[in-house]
């Protein structure tokens, strides 16, 4: 018997969002775009299920609490073929 993938409500929300915006997405940006503050555990779960994969990180300027601006690498994610075809029920 094949394992069934059961997604949390947030997992469903993120996967549908990624299916609607099929591109390489920065995890930090997805927090604002989806409203899910704890996005990284959700993304990690989708990666474990083979629905999403890590893409090349992007470097952006980041200003810390001291007002110093430095380059910082951000994780990026994209759908796998399986993730593109996966049907989110309910």
Q: For position 89, what pLDDT does the model report? A: 78
Each residue's pLDDT tens digit, 41-71: 999 999 999 999 999 999 999 999 999 999 9
Burial 15-43 (b: 16+ CB within 10 A, else e): beebbeeeeebbbbebeeebebeebeebb
């Amino acid at each position: 018997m094949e394992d069934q993938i059961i997604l949390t409500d947030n997992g469903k929300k993120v996967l549908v969002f990624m299916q609607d915006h099929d591109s390489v997405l920065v995890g930090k940006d997805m927090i604002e775009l989806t409203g899910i503050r704890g996005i990284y555990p959700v993304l990690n779960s989708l990666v474990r299920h083979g629905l999403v994969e890590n893409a090349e990180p992007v470097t952006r300027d980041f200003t810390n609490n001291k007002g110093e601006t430095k380059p910082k690498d951000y994780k990026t994610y994209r759908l796998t073929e399986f993730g593109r075809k996966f049907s989110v029920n309910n």
